[in-house]
């Protein structure tokens, strides 16, 4: 493992504006409907901007996750019973917020017989019933690579199937818990092979964990070999001193280089910038590809 270097002071681009009234309004709506967002649970840097503009990524089956990945701020702990009314509340929030695109993600639920796939299906169905014009993006766990779980989610018909690789092959075992590079790649491969033509398959990675250019390009090649459509690239921000040590604030020029390299390799859409997160401006991404 590479030598640890201490990286402290935050770069200028990590400055975000914050409108308390708008954020409070969103907090109240989400609390009223007893919904979790990955925005709040992971303490996302974009929360002020997204909540301020009425956008959020719902995190079902939370708030506790059965895995303890070293990059992630979502709490690891005893999982809650499945809330059968949660899908309807996600749909209700989507309707009230007037979202034209909704992102639904979840905690890992290795404790459940279906690993949480059924709750994704129920949520997609509830959204289709209540907000039929809203496009749906799911950001799923690896489902331990189980194809029956992936099949169930694909059959429910989201517009975008997203599963994050998170990082390059060599760093994966250091930051992800019970998840492997091969399994995540297999999930994406299976999803792409079995998705209908009009469904996009997407993934995302973090930079600043100590990855090299060659490793990032290898990852891009691995993804293009299985025809993944969208790629998001953003900066890792260490949630606390207990989490995986940040190695580098990656300079903007490298995001631009990676963007060009990814586009050259044939991804349909690439977002590469420090504050990019897998659901950040996902709506604009899908609209660009669909030519809206």
Partner 1 sequence: MIKEVHMPKLSPKSDEYFFGEWQKEPGDSVEVGDILFEVETDKVVSQVESQEKGTLQAQKVAEGDTVKVGDLVATIKVA
For residue 40, the minimal CB distance to partner 1 (Å) is 4
With tokens 């040590």, the residue in question is: 245
For residue 17, the minimal CB distance to partner 1 (Å) is 5
Is 72 assigned to a binding site? yes
For residue 20, the minimal CB distance to partner 1 (Å) is 4
Nearer to partner 1 by C-beta: 152 or 237?
237
Conformation bin of residue 227: beta by default, left when phi > 0, alpha when psi is -120 to 50 = left
Is 69 assigned to a binding site? yes
Residues that bind partner 1 (CB under 8 A): 10, 14-21, 40-41, 43-45, 47-48, 73, 237, 239-240
Is 149 assigned to a binding site? no
Cα–Cα distance between 30 and 72 in angstroms, integer? 22
Nearer to partner 1 by C-beta: 64 or 218?
64
How many other CB atoms are found less than 10 A from the CB of residue 71? 22
Cα–Cα distance between 268 and 289 in angstroms, integer? 7
* 212, 282 contact by CB (below 8 A): no
Nearer to partner 1 by C-beta: 63 or 145?
63
* 42, 73 contact by CB (below 8 A): yes
For residue 30, the minimal CB distance to partner 1 (Å) is 10
How many other CB atoms are found less than 10 A from the CB of residue 138? 24
Which residues belong to the annotated binding site?
A: 39, 44, 50, 65, 69, 72, 279
Which residues belong to the annotated binding site for [4Fe-4S] cluster?
A: 39, 44, 50, 65, 69, 72, 279
């Amino acid at each position: 493992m590479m030598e640890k270097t201490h990286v402290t002071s935050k770069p200028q681009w990590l400055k975000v504006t914050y409108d308390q009234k708008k954020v409070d309004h969103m907090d109240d709506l989400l609390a009223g409907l007893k919904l979790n967002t990955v925005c709040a649970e992971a303490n996302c840097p974009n929360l002020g901007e997204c909540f301020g503009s009425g956008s959020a990524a719902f995190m079902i089956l939370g708030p506790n996750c059965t895995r303890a990945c070293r990059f992630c701020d979502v709490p690891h702990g005893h999982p809650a019973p499945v809330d059968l009314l949660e899908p309807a509340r996600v749909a209700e929030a989507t309707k009230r917020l007037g979202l034209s695109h909704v992102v639904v993600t979840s905690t890992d639920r290795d404790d459940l017989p279906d690993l949480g796939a059924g709750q994704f299906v129920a949520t997609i169905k509830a959204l289709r019933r209540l907000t039929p014009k809203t496009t749906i993006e799911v950001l799923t766990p690896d489902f331990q690579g189980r194809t029956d779980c992936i099949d169930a989610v694909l059959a429910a018909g989201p517009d975008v199937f997203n599963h994050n690789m998170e990082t390059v092959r060599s760093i994966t075992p250091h930051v992800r818990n019970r998840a492997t590079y091969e399994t995540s790649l297999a999930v994406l491969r299976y999803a792409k092979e079995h998705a209908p033509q009009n469904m996009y398959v997407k993934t995302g990675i973090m930079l600043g964990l100590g990855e090299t250019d060659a490793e990032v390009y290898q990852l891009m090649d691995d993804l293009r070999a299985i025809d993944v459509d969208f790629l998001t690239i953003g900066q890792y921000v260490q949630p606390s001193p207990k989490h995986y040590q940040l190695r580098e604030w990656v300079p903007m020029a490298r995001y631009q280089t990676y963007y060009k390299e990814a586009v050259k390799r044939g991804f349909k859409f690439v977002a590469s910038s420090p504050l990019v997160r897998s659901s950040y401006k996902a709506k604009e991404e899908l609209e660009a590809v669909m030519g809206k």
